[in-house]
Amino acid sequence: MTKAKYQQIIDDILLQIQNGTLEANMKLPTQRDLATSYQVNRSTVIQALEILQSYGTIESKPRLGYFVSDNKWNTYIKDNIQWQSYISHSSSKNNQYFIQRINELEFNPNLYRLSTGELNPSLIPNQQFKKILDQSNNIPLTSNYEYPLGNLNLRKAIVKHVKQWGIDCTVDHICITSGALQGLKLIADGLLVPQSNIIVESPSYIHSIRTWHNIHAKLKSLPISTIKSNINHLFSKSQNYRHSLFYTIPTCHNPTQHSYSAEEREKIVQQCQQQNIPIVEDDVYGELYLNGPRPLPLKTLDRNDNILYLGSLSKTVSPGLRIGWIIGKPTVISHLADLKMQNDYGASSISQYIAAQWLTNPQYHQCHIQNLKHELLVKRDQFLESLAQYFTDLGSWNTPEGSFYIWFELYHPIDMKALFDIAISHHILINPGEIYSEQAKQAIRFSYAYIDTSKIDTSLKQLSQLIIHLQQQTK
Ligand SMILES: Cc1ncc(COP(=O)(O)O)c(C=O)c1O
């Protein structure tokens, strides 16, 4: 089998590092020159460079180009080239460059995190978790392996929890996962094949993770505006949708905050049913809808077990508990639970215990969600006020109806990679829109969930000045 073009470029650059033709700190030829010498188009070169960058083999310097990194990894390549070859030929791809850097930088306490999709530590009920563990005399705490479907008390608690939004299920419809992310991984491994057409919204959280890349199925991105304007004709009659599925975040979408109307929800469910396309409904933010009662999950409209519903405590309670769940047809759920056992033998039993107690005790979850929504509203309003003050001439955004995010689109193009780097040097961390869609190179996903309210104004003011500066430079 001939190697893909981008892989040939990667291998060639690695070889040049190994044999010393390229040394640490040496500048690589420009993208255009690389494209000419490898006789490929520029996007192939960019793909190869981004992958090399994700290995730490090369680094990009704003406005200067790409350089061979001066790090241990390159020394390592020289001694053990076969490891690099194993890595670069593995079917699991590293995270995108921006995500890798963000994952590391989020542990730098000097950065103001204007985009982090995680609750501020002060909003996480750690004291109550302690209390739950202290009170474990009445209900004995066990830390053995759990049922393949997950802790029974937790599943009972989830049956009640989702009932409040009209989802009717039993404990056999639920598989506990280590976060919703693992649910997505189990669905990919357990249900998809390379011939699958995975229909996804664009932009979408799903583009930020590589969970569904390994199966090499086609991701068919549909802009949310296209879905809405074609709501009666979502799928083409002539296309074969065997093995396909539709992944959607219908409420408080990440990153746009979009929520479908009740009518749109019905149409989506109806048409998927007509075409026999299962839906994966990712509802990790639905409970944080701020404008009144939350829109009902698609799962409430599911008459034929067509929908796999993903929930999680990560966004509402604590991401570190790593507790999520999939709700679906029992035969599918037991297949996914079997895969889960093969993966990790169950989510942490201590986390499952805490989650079960947390959801069962009305004093905990209900009060917490009420307070949390109040706090998020305060943070949201401060964020919107500061955006209005500093960003009105720079771009546009919507008022979020819930959860954490503000999708900001610039009016005039800038080098987003340069902004990302310069912002870091000014102690500000942002998520460029490109993480969520290749087309969103001029967008930023903001989040008010993590940053201290008192730091929102100064950080946004500073960021706006950096954008203006960059725009002036490109004029
Ligand atoms: C839409 C969406 N689904 C799933 C996840 C993953 O959540 P968990 O922490 O439960 O794995 C995230 C996290 O950002 C998300 O935004």
For residue 29, report the distance from its CA to the centre of ligand 1, in Å: 39
Å from CA of 284 to ligand 1 middle: 6
Q: Are both 61 and 113 inside the same structural domain?
A: no
Tell me, what's the pLDDT at 17? 83
Secondary structure class of 62 (helix, strand, coil)? coil
Residues 304, 376 within the same domain = no
Q: How many whole angstroms separate alpha carbon 137 and alpha carbon 133?
A: 9
Distance from the alpha carbon of residue 30 to the mean position of ligand 1, in angstroms: 37
- State what percent of residues in the chain have pLDDT above 70: 96
Q: Which of 16, 44, 75 is the last residue of a domain?
A: 75
What average pLDDT score do residues 404-433 get?
96
Identify which of 113, 211, 212, 314 to mutate to test ligand 1's pocket (most ligand atoms within 8 A of the CB). 314
- Per-residue model confidence as pLDDT tens digits over 431-474: 999 999 989 999 999 999 999 999 999 999 999 999 999 999 87
Q: Which atom of ligand 1 is nearest to the CA of 253?
A: 1
Residues lining ligand 1, Cβ inside 6 A? 117, 179-181, 205, 249, 254, 282, 284, 312, 314, 319, 324
Whether this model's pTM surpasses 0.75: yes
What pLDDT does 96 receive? Answer: 81
Give the domain extent around 185.
142-360
Closest Cα partner for 365 from 380, 355, 379? Answer: 355
The helix (run of H) or strand (run of E) holding residue 376 is: helix 362-390
Are 354 and 384 part of one and the same domain?
A: no
Residue 422 domain flag: yes
Across the range 263-272, mean pLDDT stands at 97
The answer as to whether 453 is a domain residue is: yes
115 and 16 in one domain? Answer: no
Instruction: Judge if 71 and 160 occupy the same domain.
Output: no
Task: Strands of 321-442 (E only): list them.
Answer: 324-327, 395-396, 405-410, 428-429, 431-432
pLDDT at 78 over 70: no
How many structural domains comprise the chain?
3
Statement to judge: residues 186 and 266 lie in one domain: yes
- Domain with residue 45: its CATH number is 1.10.10.10
Pocket test for ligand 1, best of 118, 284, 321 (most atoms within 8 A of CB): 284
Nearest atom (ligand 1) to Cα of 117: 14
> Is 80 inside a domain boundary?
no
Q: What is the chain's mean pLDDT, rounded?
A: 92
Three-class secondary structure assignment of 164-179: CCCCCCCHHHEEEECH
Query: Residue range 376-404: average pLDDT?
Result: 97
Domain with residue 185: its CATH number is: 3.40.640.10
- Is 353 found in the same domain as 380? no
CATH of the domain at 116: 3.90.1150.10
Give the rounded distance of the alpha carbon of 319 from its chain centre.
13
215 and 244 part of one domain: yes
223 and 244 in a single domain? The answer is: yes
Distance (Å, rounded) from C-alpha 256 to C-alpha 207?
13
